[in-house]
Amino acid sequence: MQNFTFHNPTRILFGQGCIADMAPEIPAGARVLITYGGGSVVRTGTLDEVRRALAGFTLLEFGGIEPNPTYETLMRAVTLARDEHIDFLLAVGGGSVIDGTKFIAAAVPFAGEPWDILARQAPVTTALPLGSVLTLPATGSEMNAGSVITRQSTQDKLFFISPLVFPRFSVLDPTKTYTLPPRHVANGVVDAFVHVMEQYLTYPVDAKVQDRFAEGLLMTLIEEGPRALAEPENYAVRANLMWTATLALNGLIGVGVPQDWSTHMLGHEITALHGLDHAQTLAIVLPAMLQVRRLAKRDKLLQYAARVWGLTEGDADQRIEAAIARTCDFFESLQVPTRLSSYGIGGEAITPLVAHLERHGMTALGERQDVGLECARQVYEQAL
């Protein structure tokens, strides 16, 4: 096991009705900017519930944060927050809203060009405090320090990480996921699944606790993902799914182990150039990545095959092949396709995708930094 330091400062308020309990988590007298997305939190009454919980605070609102939140939209929120002297941010929505709010938190006090936080990894030295009310379990952004932002004008999708944008608290009420469209539920399951895989399916370092945690999360997603689609108001199912997605990327299973993240980087370019949902790109790239890199990942692929899918018959190559096939079948069972061609994307798209990776410096990816541009091209080709 590798050396590590682990600290996660986010307080979790979990369960039905917990929105009513969040007011003490916000400093008295704060001027609060509530951020949200396309309006579902308005239609479902969640925003009204938040307003009632925060009666007594000065509240302003900023809506319209997109899936794959854009720099252009978020900079309007930054201007609003500066003009109105906002001193606390509250994201109400899924990972895109929370990611966007983290960028707002970092950008408001930033002295230079805020895009440099992403494009040049400029240090974040101060940030507005924020909290979140999660409505879509998927990204784990409610309990981590990462954010991914898209700049529409240049088709760049980039990330930053700063401990200063950990949410101070996050409210996780599983009943707020009951009204999610099936596509969003399925995307959330895939997103959480691939988050675990990026930290788990690398190479062994005898990190037994992390491995068993990761395998348990994967098995829970396999069990509860289809049930969440079939039984949308099953509280137990939604509670397990929500907590699994949070644990998939709150840092716990990633400590002391090598991490990959090449699937995410290749997926980001598909979203940037073709507009696919984040999870849709992950479902396309992951199986292809496992095929292309099956030799480098052999030991962990065999462990994954045996422990997660119960595949113990046949020779090693047969078990690996079966595990990758089961992974594809699982994504497809959620109605999330695993081929570029399913979205009308053909071989002509590969060269621009690889060029974008090069432009963004993504030329030495993976747990051993051995996923270069040629390997990336092979993965995209495998995914056709």
DSSP 301-367: HHHHHHHHH---SS-HHHHHHHHHHHHHHHHHHTT----GGGGT--GGGHHHHHHHHHHTT-SSBTT
CA distance 209 to 221: 19
Q: CATH second-level architecture of 182-383?
A: Up-down Bundle (1.20)
Strand order in the sheet with 169-172: 11-14, 169-172, 130-134, 88-93, 31-35, 58-62
Helices 262-274 & 278-292, crossing angle to 10 degrees?
130
Q: Which two tokens stand for residue 288?
A: 């292809």
CATH of domain 11-176: 3.40.50.1970
pLDDT over 90 (residue 259): yes
Asked if 62 contacts 105 with a C-beta cutoff of 8 angstroms, the reply is no
CA distance 116 to 123: 9
Report the pLDDT value the prediction gives residue 38, as an integer from 0 to 100.
87
Per DSSP, the three-state class of 301 is helix
Report the pLDDT value the prediction gives residue 292, as an integer from 0 to 100.
98
Q: Which two tokens stand for residue 142?
A: 């409610």
Q: What are 2-38's pLDDT values in tens digits?
A: 999 999 999 999 999 999 999 999 999 999 999 999 8
**DSSP-assigned states of every residue in 107-154:** HTT-SS-TTHHHHS---------EEEEESS-SS-GGGSSEEEEEETTT
pLDDT band at 49 (very low <50, low <70, confident <90, very high): very high
pTM of the model: 0.96
DSSP state of 70: B
pLDDT band at 39 (very low <50, low <70, confident <90, very high): confident
DSSP state of 57: B
Kindly give, in sequence order, each residue whose CB lies less than 8 Å from that of residue 276, ignoring residues fewer than 6 positions away: 270, 284, 343
CA distance 360 to 65: 24
Q: What are 62-82's pLDDT values in tens digits?
A: 999 999 999 999 999 999 999
Q: What are 260-303's pLDDT values in tens digits?
A: 999 999 999 999 999 999 999 999 999 999 999 999 999 999 99
Kindly give, in sequence order, each residue whose CB lies less than 8 Å from that of residue 343, ignoring residues fewer than 6 positions away: 274, 276, 280, 337
Q: What are 318-364's pLDDT values in tens digits?
A: 999 999 999 999 999 999 999 999 999 999 999 999 999 999 999 99
Residue of 14, 211, 188 lying closest to 94 (CA atoms): 188
Say if 11-176 and 182-383 have the same CATH topology: no
Percent of the chain with pLDDT strictly greater than 90 = 99
Report the pLDDT value the prediction gives residue 112, as an integer from 0 to 100.
93
Q: What are 155-199's pLDDT values in tens digits?
A: 999 999 999 999 999 999 999 999 999 999 999 999 999 999 999
pLDDT over 90 (residue 256): yes
Asked if 33 contacts 74 with a C-beta cutoff of 8 angstroms, the reply is no
**Residue ranges per domain, the chain?**
11-176, 182-383
Q: What are 99-141's pLDDT values in tens digits?
A: 999 999 999 999 999 999 999 999 999 999 999 999 999 999 9
Asked if 89 contacts 104 with a C-beta cutoff of 8 angstroms, the reply is yes
Distance, first Cα to last Cα, the chain: 36
CA distance 355 to 361: 10
Q: In whole angstroms, how far apart are CA 300 and each of 264, 303, 309, 319? A: 19, 5, 13, 12
Q: What are 91-110's pLDDT values in tens digits?
A: 999 999 999 999 999 999 99
